[in-house]
Chain A
Amino acid sequence: DSGVTQTPKHLITATGQRVTLRCSPRSGDLSVYWYQQSLDQGLQFLIQYYNGEERAKGNILERFSAQQFPDLHSELNLSSLELGDSALYFCASSALAGATDTQYFGPGTRLTVL
């Protein structure tokens, strides 16, 4: 158990819909990262927040957005869903935002878009 929690574990929805994925980092960790893992693309970095502020942005679509709240939990919002958005979405957290900070991954949310 990494200490990072993600809800829900599974999510099935239809194209065009909007969903929210939730992540609670390890106690004391200030950074939260979101990754997408699809069958044909491996793990892709989406976005990082540090202490409530956006810190780094990766291959995140404009239809996707994220935020980190004052209690440090984070939400990833996916809208106008397409079939290709079906994937595992992982959240990771680290103590700070440094280059040597270990990222601890949650168990993931499996999103299926029908």
Chain B
Amino acid sequence: GQQLNQSPQSMFIQEGEDVSMNCTSSSIFNTWLWYKQEPGEGPVLLIALYKAGELTSNGRLTAQFGITRKDSFLNISASIPSDVGIYFCAGRTSGSRLTFGEGTQLTVNP
């Protein structure tokens, strides 16, 4: 089946630092999504990308849909303590079914 390889698995950074994480796949996706999950909660959509090459920002978050349609990255600038959580990439081919990456656990030290 389809698999998404997300890296890094975990990151420990200082407040104010920039963060970058990415997802790659051997399959082509038509949509890339980035979600954040906090303890005890379900994933919350951060950014959705629908077109190869698309670069989209949401506040301090920026994500890009790779040209090959097999990868995506998420950048967080000037991290703050509330950025702590698990970040998931997700891809969609046809239909509405999502395939998720394994997540990047982000820890921000004040």
Residue numbers of A with Cβ under 8 A of B are 2, 4, 31, 33, 35, 42-45, 48, 55-56, 58-59, 90, 92, 94, 97-108
| Majority-rule SS of B interface residues | loop
B contacts with A, residue count (CB < 8 A): 25
Report B-chain residues with C-beta under 8 Å of the C-beta of A56: 95-97
Q: Are B97 and A58 in contact (CB under 8 A)?
A: yes
CB within 8 A of A48: which of B44, B50, B97?
B97
Q: How far is the CA of A23 from the CA of B106 in the complex (A)?
A: 29
Report A-chain residues with C-beta under 8 Å of the C-beta of B98: 33, 43, 45, 103
Q: A-facing mask of B12-37, CB < 8 A → 1, else 0?
A: 00000000000000000011000100
Q: How far is the CA of A92 from the CA of B45 in the complex (A)?
A: 11
Q: How far is the CA of A80 from the CA of B64 in the complex (A)?
A: 43
Q: Are B31 and A100 in contact (CB under 8 A)?
A: yes
